[in-house]
A and B are shown apart, each in its own frame.
Chain A
Amino acid sequence: MKCIHVADLHLDRPFEGLGELPEEFSLKLSQKNFQVFSAIIDEAIKEQVDLLLLVGDIFHQPRIPIYTQHLFIEEMKRLEKEQIQVVLTFGNHDYYDTNRYWFPFPKNVNVWKSETVETLVLTTRNQETVAISAFSYENRWIEQHQATKFPKRFSHVDYHIGCYHGELGTSENNRYAPFTLGELKEKNYDYWALGHIHQRKVVGEDPLVVYPGAPIGHTKKEQQCYYAALIEFTGQQKQLEWKSFPFVEWKRINYQLTEDNIPKQVILKELFDAILEQITDLSHTYFIEITLESSPEYSLTEYEQQDILRYLQQESYQSFKQQVWVYQLINETVIKDNQSAFGFLDKQLLHQFLQAYEQQDMEDKALDPLYKQPILYTLLHENTSFKEALLDQSKDFLEVEFQTKGGD
């Protein structure tokens, strides 16, 4: 028996952190998710798998647009024609609500709609029997240990697979169906198909416990996210093969600014060459982040940075068939010593002052003007990573400013 295991597709999720994009590029990106999904379905058909396991967070938005549902159902129908069964469970993003689904699922799609762990025995085309135990989210969170509710391996079936969308570990903050590896192993299943974590990871070898990761990277944090797991079961043997779908790739480039490459043309050329080096297939889309490292005396002004970013965006977008987008240019000024232009005001003291903003001062004082704007409030208030990023950036920024702005 063969199956493809996918999770966390987030089909409606836009690509985040890209800034303003050319309109046609935005349009192209909005179709990217389904391009990947279609390719996965192609692979399932090509490999003639028996099962496609979709373990949660297939959709991203709380409301699923008709367009998305329609395309999803169309892909499911393609599998139906090939007599490929689908196991569909819902995760914390697309937690199940009847009213969201406007199309009937085709017959080959076995849908889990409840938090209660349920088991279904399917028969493959080769007349092998496989028991699937799974559950779906009905709300944003499941705080209970779902793993303990899974039944022991069925003795009368050829294989038993568990589908589990949740977070490994038992920390207090874990509100995503927490579980431990032991809890899973105890069940004696042949395979545990996990979902929720976007980086692929083989959690356990015997039995195989696998996070396939998100097959589409939607943010720069999801750099290596373009895999689906293909598992072949032959009796006791299980073979895991990673299938990659790198239609979207997030790349990082580090570039050192030294005295030698001060002429702008040199910087631009070298950066462009560095971009070129990253590109291996022009049918893929590349999102590129560039970090400029320099000591304070060589660091570029904000305007120079803007110019470089704009030039690279245009140049690479045009040169590489509109497949490459340089979304960010980060300036990293490296300060070698602990000196400040303000004498007594050294790093430690600065950090002491900044400490106030790790807590309440951040919201009360610093972000207050932004919070008064309703949109910004919504975007930033709950976003702890924004506050962290802001503090880090402010720290770096002020260190540099305090060291350089005192000079001539």
Chain B
Amino acid sequence: MQILELEVVQFGCLKEVTIPIDSQLQAIYGDNGIGKTTLYNFIRTIFFGFPSKRSKRHDYTPLAGGAFGGRIRVRTEAFGEVVIERFKQERQGKAVVYNQTHEEIGDEVFLNQLLSPLTVELFDEMYSLQQEELYKINQLQEEDLQKFLLSIGLSGSRKMMDLKESFEKEQGNIYKPNGVKPELNNYLEEYSRIQELIEEKEADEAAYQEKVGEQLNLEQLIEQEKNHMLAQKTQRDQLNQQLVFWEHYDEWQKLKLELEQEEPRLFSHDLKDIEKIYGQYTFTKQQELDYLNEQAYIKDSDITPAYTFYLEHQEACQEALARRIDVEKREDSLKRLAQQKNEQIAFCDQLQQDLQIKDARLAFYPNIQEVTQIQQWSLTENELMQQQTATENLFDQEMEKQEALENEKLEKDWFKIGNGLPIGAILGAGITLLLMLKKHFILGIAIGFISLIAVGVAYYLQEQKKKQKVIAKQYQEVSDRVDKLADKIANYQERQKEMDVFKQQLAESYQFSIQKSLRDWLAELPLRDQLKKHLEKVEELTEEITRLNLEQESDISRIQFMKEWLPVSSEPNISTLYQALADYVEEMEAKRLAEAQKLGEEQWYQMLRDIQKRKADLEAQLVERITLFNLSEVEDIPVLLHRSQELKIQVAREKELRQSLEPIFDLNEVYTQEGLKESERQLNEGIENSRRHRDSYEKQLQGVLFTIGNMEADGKLPRLYQEKSNIQSKLEELALTWGQYRIGSLVIQDILDFLSDQQLPSLLEKTCEYFAQLTDNRYKDIQLKEGKLVILGSENQSYQLGELSTGTRDQLYISLRMAFIILQQAYCVFPLIIDDGWLNYDDRRKGNLFQLLTKVSLEQPIICMSSDQAFIEYCREHNHPIFSL
């Protein structure tokens, strides 16, 4: 873009000024204060707009008011000549672009496109060269100067470097690899903390399964212990029963032993046969005896009314007599039973007396539950008794103490008399003194003596008083203790009462002696059981006797019809009656036989022989049968039969016992009372152990269930996940911000690197060319060594920037700026506007500069505003147009 004409309508101190730009190098001359800087700002404003209100730039609003702005005519590649117009009052200060025929062809945006890539920044940076800048360079130190020059040289903007630096600073504010303070570091720490908590918590969760396993295991163990305990309790109940029935078991065992030792054949063989044959045998033996006696008897036989009656009732008599054996047997049985009954009754009476049971017909044996209750209470009772006795003893002791102390206390009143004694003693002493003075020596001494005794007694009484206080205190303590013990006793009595109620009930129900202890009651139980058994026996016997008596009575009535012929009293007992009957029948029969004998003696002998033969026959049969029992004599048979009878009873008893014991004892085992008691003790211990185990398992289970419940209700993990997510998003956000600065700084570096690779060599070459020209070839090269500019003199001496004089530095700066603009022409063509800065140069330097400007202006338009007369002269000489403000 080429500027053709500047038309200032009104801008600061400038008004209605039109400046044609006719040449590549246009000089604008004006003295200081005439408006050169104003003109520069005019150009800036028309191209890039009025500065915003916030801006600190100088305000060029004309004081007189009116149109504020102007026009610049330029030539562009795309549109040819156009006019850019801008007034503050019009279009809100926006520009308008007209073509040659004054048609509006664009607005501000269009202008920006026209200027592109030139921006106000680039304009300020590149296309204006002002005196202040040179002044500024002179103030810079080596390092800053380096940076300053390089930034111009490399990118055309040191601001890029500043930007990069600010980005790096921002990065550091957000994150430093080993930092603590930056925000991201802080959040990282927080993140690790939460992550750790989560890991801990998740590890805890793994324990959950373990806990559930523990729960199942404990539940199983508790079930096991419960079952175990139940089994033991059942066993213990059985043992208790076994102990209660111990007497029976003992009896059974002995009986069993006895029976085992008995001849086994006695059980297996029926003795009825022997009994029957033996009966016949005794009968036959008697018959023989009768026959032998008969002979003499028959002779004095006579016919009597009794004989007549007999003959008339012979059959009935014989029939009645046939029953005699039964009757006698029954009678024997009755006697035996009566005796047994009496024995049993005697037993019962004895037991009843021992047990102090008033009426055995009423209940006296508690049921099993009650027995168990008694057992439980018995333990309590014992304990209670001991504790109570102990406490009562203690109470009595304390009471005695209390009484003793009370007695001592009673004496107290008596001691009060002692209060008067000291006064008496003083009085006595006074009198003694008086008497002594009056020379009543003996009386004086006596009264003095008495006084001394009074003093002594008073002192003693005083001591007693002190003791009294101590006693009072002790008394208080003792009474407290007495009260406490009384409470305790009352408590025991309370429990005693409770137990008494229980006892009272049982005592009433079962006729226990209320005075006896429960332990005694338990001890009574086997006896009571025995009593029960005996009473049952008595009952049985009574029944049997009654039955037999009825039978006897029927047998008595059977022979009632012939009673008058029998020589017996009016109320005979049955055996006498039957004896009489037998005698009567025998007598009558003898008579009849005698009658018959008369018929033939032979016949009688024959009969006797028959009998004797039969007897021998029977005896032989018997002997044969009893060899089985290792017996040989017939006389042994009654003993055998008796034993057999006895055995039957014993076997029955054994069976009865066995049946009652079977549910309680395993009868194949052998028990001892000590063994049972030991087992009971062990079982109690076992039950206690099981209970302890179960309690401990249950406690553990509670704990485990609590932990499980807590874990199930613990919402901490989701919360931690949320917190972690919060921090994570914060981390990502910060990483993003950090990243944008990071990429920003990297990109700037990349751009700088790129530019330096592309531009620097040609830039330095150009700079060097200009710099040589400006310095009359005193310096021949500018090199970049390790990122630093080094100047080489004509004789290869190298200089740091700082080593150059101010003027030389100016020259270097100007060379660099010129070179840069020349190189930028590929991108952007725009006049360089120079506000002079060489007033203090010497002529030679000025000459060099002017020559350089001329040289550069061949490629690059330059507008040079100056108040330097020398420059104007130079322009005139070289035909550069000059405009005077």
Interface residues of A (CB under 8 A from B): 12-21, 26-27, 29-31, 33, 61, 63, 65-68, 70, 102, 297, 327-328, 336-346, 349-350, 353-354, 356-357, 361, 365-367, 369-370, 372-373, 375-376, 379-380, 386, 389-391, 393-394, 397-398, 401, 405-408
Determine the residue in chain B with the shortest Cβ distance to A393. Answer: B740
Given known contacts A18-B725, A338-B116, A406-B159, A67 and B736 CB-to-CB distance under 8 angstroms: no
Q: Are B740 and A394 in contact (CB under 8 A)?
A: yes
Q: Are B119 and A18 in contact (CB under 8 A)?
A: no
Given known contacts A356-B750, A398-B744, A12 and B718 CB-to-CB distance under 8 angstroms: yes
Residues of B720-745 contacting chain A, CB below 8 A: 721-733, 735-736, 738-740, 742-744
Chain B residues bordering chain A, tally (CB within 8 A) = 72
With most chain B CB atoms within 10 A of its CB, the pick from A27, A66, A391 is: A66
Given known contacts A353-B750, A366-B739, A376-B731, A405 and B718 CB-to-CB distance under 8 angstroms: no
Docked Cα-Cα span, A23 to B45, in Å, equals 56
Docked Cα-Cα span, A366 to B168, in Å, equals 12
Q: Are A66 and B208 in contact (CB under 8 A)?
A: yes
Verify if B715 is at the interface (C-beta below 8 Å from A): yes
Q: Are B743 and A68 in contact (CB under 8 A)?
A: no
Query: Which residues of A have CB within 8 Å of B723?
Result: 14, 26
Q: Are B751 and A30 in contact (CB under 8 A)?
A: no
Docked Cα-Cα span, A70 to B827, in Å, equals 71
Q: Are A379 and B738 in contact (CB under 8 A)?
A: no
Q: Are B736 and A390 in contact (CB under 8 A)?
A: yes
Verify if B559 is at the interface (C-beta below 8 Å from A): no
B192's partner among A349, A375, A397, A408 (CB-CB below 8 A) is A375
Docked Cα-Cα span, A29 to B724, in Å, equals 13
Question: What are the nearest 10 A-B pairs in CB distance?
Answer: A406-B121, A14-B725, A65-B717, A343-B122, A30-B719, A14-B722, A30-B718, A341-B121, A394-B743, A70-B712
Query: Which residues of A have CB within 8 Å of B177?
Result: 369, 372-373
A401's partner among B113, B724, B727, B744 (CB-CB below 8 A) is B744
Q: List 20 A-B contacts (CB under 8 A).
A: A13-B721, A16-B728, A20-B726, A26-B719, A26-B722, A66-B711, A67-B711, A102-B209, A337-B112, A340-B117, A341-B122, A344-B117, A366-B746, A367-B742, A375-B188, A376-B188, A379-B731, A389-B736, A390-B739, A406-B125
Query: Which residues of B have CB within 8 Å of A390?
Result: 735-736, 739-740, 743
Query: Which residues of B have CB within 8 Å of A340?
Result: 117, 119
Query: Which residues of A have CB within 8 Å of B122?
Result: 341-343, 406
In whole Å, how far is B744's beta carbon from the nearest beta carbon of chain A? 5
Determine the residue in chain B with the shortest Cβ distance to A370. Answer: B735
In whole Å, how far is B196's beta carbon from the nearest beta carbon of chain A? 12
Given known contacts A18-B729, A26-B726, A370-B738, A365 and B746 CB-to-CB distance under 8 angstroms: yes
Docked Cα-Cα span, A17 to B827, in Å, equals 45
Q: Are B121 and A407 in contact (CB under 8 A)?
A: yes
Docked Cα-Cα span, A176 to B828, in Å, equals 56
Query: Which residues of B have CB within 8 Å of A344?
Result: 117, 156, 824, 827-828
Query: Which residues of A have CB within 8 Å of B721?
Result: 12-14, 30, 61
A366's partner among B724, B725, B742, B751 (CB-CB below 8 A) is B742
Query: Which residues of B have CB within 8 Å of A366?
Result: 739, 742-743, 746
Given known contacts A343-B156, A372-B177, A354 and B743 CB-to-CB distance under 8 angstroms: yes
Verify if B120 is at the interface (C-beta below 8 Å from A): yes
Docked Cα-Cα span, A167 to B721, in Å, equals 27
The number of A-B residue pairs with CB atoms under 8 Å apart is 200
B157's partner among A14, A17, A342 (CB-CB below 8 A) is A342
Determine the residue in chain A with the shortest Cβ distance to B750. Answer: A353
Query: Which residues of B have CB within 8 Å of A21?
Result: 722, 726
Given contact pairs A14-B721, A17-B732, a sample of 8 additional A-B residue pairs in the complex whose CB atoms are under 8 Å apart: A12-B721, A26-B722, A27-B722, A30-B721, A31-B718, A65-B205, A342-B121, A379-B735
Docked Cα-Cα span, A327 to B742, in Å, equals 24
Verify if B55 is at the interface (C-beta below 8 Å from A): yes
Determine the residue in chain A with the shortest Cβ distance to B162. Answer: A405
Q: Are B112 and A373 in contact (CB under 8 A)?
A: no
In whole Å, how far is A272's beta carbon from the nearest beta carbon of chain B? 23
Chain B window 104-127, contacts with chain A (Cβ cutoff 8 Å), 1 for yes, 0 for no: 000001001100111111100110
Query: Which residues of A have CB within 8 Å of B716?
Result: 67
Given known contacts A21-B726, A376-B735, A102 and B212 CB-to-CB distance under 8 angstroms: yes
Query: Which residues of A have CB within 8 Å of B718?
Result: 12, 14, 30-31, 33, 65, 67-68
Q: Are B163 and A405 in contact (CB under 8 A)?
A: yes
Q: Are A63 and B109 in contact (CB under 8 A)?
A: no
In whole Å, how far is B165's beta carbon from the nearest beta carbon of chain A? 12
Q: Are A339 and B119 in contact (CB under 8 A)?
A: yes
Docked Cα-Cα span, A30 to B714, in Å, equals 12
Determine the residue in chain A with the shortest Cβ distance to B57. Answer: A408
Chain B window 802-843, contacts with chain A (Cβ cutoff 8 Å), 1 for yes, 0 for no: 000000000000000000000010011000000000000000
In whole Å, how far is B183's beta carbon from the nearest beta carbon of chain A? 11
Query: Which residues of B have CB within 8 Å of A357?
Result: 743, 746-747
Given known contacts A393-B740, A394-B743, A30 and B52 CB-to-CB distance under 8 angstroms: no
Verify if B160 is at the interface (C-beta below 8 Å from A): yes
In whole Å, how far is B115's beta carbon from the nearest beta carbon of chain A? 9
Query: Which residues of A have CB within 8 Å of B160?
Result: 342
Determine the residue in chain A with the shortest Cβ distance to B712. Answer: A70
Query: Which residues of A have CB within 8 Å of B121?
Result: 341-343, 406-407
Determine the residue in chain A with the shortest Cβ distance to B714. Answer: A67
Q: Are B156 and A66 in contact (CB under 8 A)?
A: no
Q: Are A353 and B714 in contact (CB under 8 A)?
A: no
With most chain A CB atoms within 10 A of its CB, the pick from B712, B726, B738, B751 is: B726
Query: Which residues of B have CB within 8 Å of A356?
Result: 750
In whole Å, how far is B190's beta carbon from the nearest beta carbon of chain A? 9
Query: Which residues of A have CB within 8 Å of B739?
Result: 366-367, 370, 390, 393-394
Query: Which residues of A have CB within 8 Å of B118?
Result: 343
Q: Are B112 and A339 in contact (CB under 8 A)?
A: yes
Docked Cα-Cα span, A398 to B166, in Å, equals 13
Verify if B307 is at the interface (C-beta below 8 Å from A): no
With most chain B CB atoms within 10 A of its CB, the pick from A29, A102, A337, A406 is: A406
In whole Å, how far is B751's beta carbon from the nearest beta carbon of chain A? 6
Verify if B713 is at the interface (C-beta below 8 Å from A): yes
Query: Which residues of B have CB within 8 Å of A379?
Result: 728, 731-732, 735
With most chain A CB atoms within 10 A of its CB, the pick from B195, B719, B727 is: B719
In whole Å, how far is B666's beta carbon from the nearest beta carbon of chain A? 47
Q: Are B119 and A406 in contact (CB under 8 A)?
A: yes
Determine the residue in chain B with the shortest Cβ distance to A74. Answer: B712
Docked Cα-Cα span, A369 to B741, in Å, equals 13
Verify if B155 is at the interface (C-beta below 8 Å from A): yes
B715's partner among A18, A30, A337, A372 (CB-CB below 8 A) is A30
Query: Which residues of A have CB within 8 Å of B156?
Result: 342-344
Query: Which residues of B have CB within 8 Å of A345?
Result: 751
Query: Which residues of A have CB within 8 Å of B728?
Result: 16, 379
Docked Cα-Cα span, A136 to B202, in Å, equals 25
Verify if B50 is at the interface (C-beta below 8 Å from A): no
A373's partner among B126, B188, B205, B212 (CB-CB below 8 A) is B188
A350's partner among B201, B719, B736, B747 (CB-CB below 8 A) is B747
Docked Cα-Cα span, A43 to B167, in Å, equals 55
With most chain A CB atoms within 10 A of its CB, the pick from B113, B202, B723 is: B723
Q: Are A346 and B109 in contact (CB under 8 A)?
A: no
Verify if B42 is at the interface (C-beta below 8 Å from A): no
Q: Are B726 and A386 in contact (CB under 8 A)?
A: no
Chain B window 55-80, contacts with chain A (Cβ cutoff 8 Å), 1 for yes, 0 for no: 11100000000000000000000000
Chain B window 130-171, contacts with chain A (Cβ cutoff 8 Å), 1 for yes, 0 for no: 000000000000000000000000011101100100000000
Docked Cα-Cα span, A367 to B175, in Å, equals 12
Verify if B871 is at the interface (C-beta below 8 Å from A): no
B175's partner among A17, A66, A369, A407 (CB-CB below 8 A) is A369
Query: Which residues of A have CB within 8 Å of B713?
Result: 67, 70
In whole Å, how far is B516's beta carbon from the nearest beta carbon of chain A? 63
Q: Are B714 and A66 in contact (CB under 8 A)?
A: yes
Q: Are B722 and A407 in contact (CB under 8 A)?
A: no
